[in-house]
Structure 1
Amino acid sequence: MSDNNQHFKIVKHKDYLYVIQENISIVHSAYTNDPLNMYLILGNHSALLIDTGCGISPLKPIVDKLIGSRKLLVFNSHAHWDHVLGNEEFGEVYIHENEEKIVSEPYNLSHAKELFA
């Protein structure tokens, strides 16, 4: 299962566990750790999304389709750009308090501007 732009690949491991793989090599060829894995765990009444990816392509419509009427909780494993830049699509997002400030302020990518030149 993939969305129309082939940016995400959805792998169903169990009835309750999906891995959403994001193609981050499109950001720059230097990112050879492609794909980025996000995890969606489905419970009876709620679902947990671990990480929101790069924010390049809409993730929420894919997640909404997979979770149905379940309540969604979103958790960032850590504050690296490729795990949190999709946060803006979701309401409340949880992260460890040591990294809360990083994701609460605009993310500074100025150090990467030469990658996009």
Structure 2
Amino acid sequence: MFERIKVKKLNDHIYLMDDNGEATGYLVIGDKKALVIDTMNGYENVYEVVRTLTDLPLMVVNTHGHCDHIFGNIYFDEAYMNPDDNEVAKEHMAFQEFVEACKKHNLHMPPFKPIKDGDVIDLGGLTLDIISLPGHTPGGICLLLKEDRVLFTGDGINHGLWMQLNESKMLKELLNNLDKIMYVTKEADYILHGHAQEMDNISLITALRDGVADLIETKGEGDKDYEWFGGVDKQHLFGDGKSAICYSIDKL
């Protein structure tokens, strides 16, 4: 039915939506409301995808302001995001291809409503705590689904963490922010990040934290180059040796 977005049921009320292998969004269905976490690239109508799974009232939350997490907002009336990422989102919303596509299809981005650290989302039988994690972007957030012990992390915690972006925080600040939320390792068993295909063990956050600490201590000595569309920076392997923190020297 849908060419790009493929849906995978993870348990009785969590669905993973994979957008052509480029980005991942989630649908969490409670007794009274349903929550969309990140809306991916916007090439396909994620609202229609969600409506094949639930007819409950919907709430949309963006984990951060990058295009592959917010562009699908165009199919909804509103979305919540940490205001600290408003400037990041504004920059991405100005991408020429996106502006032209919105004009062509008579679509527009709905307003962002604020959400912050400590807020709680009640879906009826399911509750999610908002946890701030500045690092990848200034306003990145995680969502802790208490009943299922699952932490949704966007791009803030994953196997390929980008810290080379202009908007990314200094690595020492990221380490400090990770230390502040290490308590979640006792409250969650699994992680679902913004480019996942399945659940990761919560130990990923500890491996990432230790990798950042190691990078700071070694100052990236021996790290190899990392080529991306913005140029060439560095990458520091951590955990299983297949995961990496991508960074620019000025973030050390």
Same fold (TM over 0.5): yes
Q: Which residue identity lines up with residue 82 of structure 2 in the other structure?
A: H
Q: Which residue identity lines up with residue 28 of structure 2 in the other structure?
A: I
Q: 1:79 aligns to what SS in structure 2?
A: coil
Distance 1:49 1:98 in 2: 20
Distance 1:105 1:64 in 2: 30
Q: Which residue identity lines up with residue 18 of structure 1 in the other structure?
A: Y
Equivalent of 1:90, from 72, 76, 90? 76
- The answer to whether 1:76 aligns with 2:76 is no
- Describe the superposition over 1:77-100 as per-residue Cα deviations: whole angstroms up to 9, x where unpaired: 011111111111101100001013
Q: 2:24 aligns to what?
A: 37
Conservation of the 8 A alpha-carbon contact between 2:66 and 2:88: no
Q: Which residue identity lines up with residue 38 of structure 2 in the other structure?
A: D
C-alpha distance 35-104 of structure 1, shift in aligned 2 (>3 A): closer
Moved >6 Å (runs of 4+): none
C-alpha distance 21-13 of structure 1, shift in aligned 2 (>3 A): same
What is the TM-score when the length of structure 2 is the normalising length? 0.36
- Describe the superposition over 1:53-101 as per-residue Cα deviations: whole angstroms up to 9, x where unpaired: 1111111111112122x11000000111111111111011000010134
What RMSD over aligned residues (CA atoms) do the two structures have, in Å? 2.2
Q: 1:28 aligns to what?
A: none
Q: Which has the larger radius of gyration?
A: 2
C-alpha distance 105-36 of structure 1, shift in aligned 2 (>3 A): closer
C-alpha distance 89-105 of structure 1, shift in aligned 2 (>3 A): farther
Q: 2:15 aligns to what?
A: 18
Question: What 5-or-longer segments of structure 1 have no aligned partner?
Answer: 24-33
Distance 1:35 1:84 in 2: 13
Equivalent of 1:54, from 24, 41, 51? 41
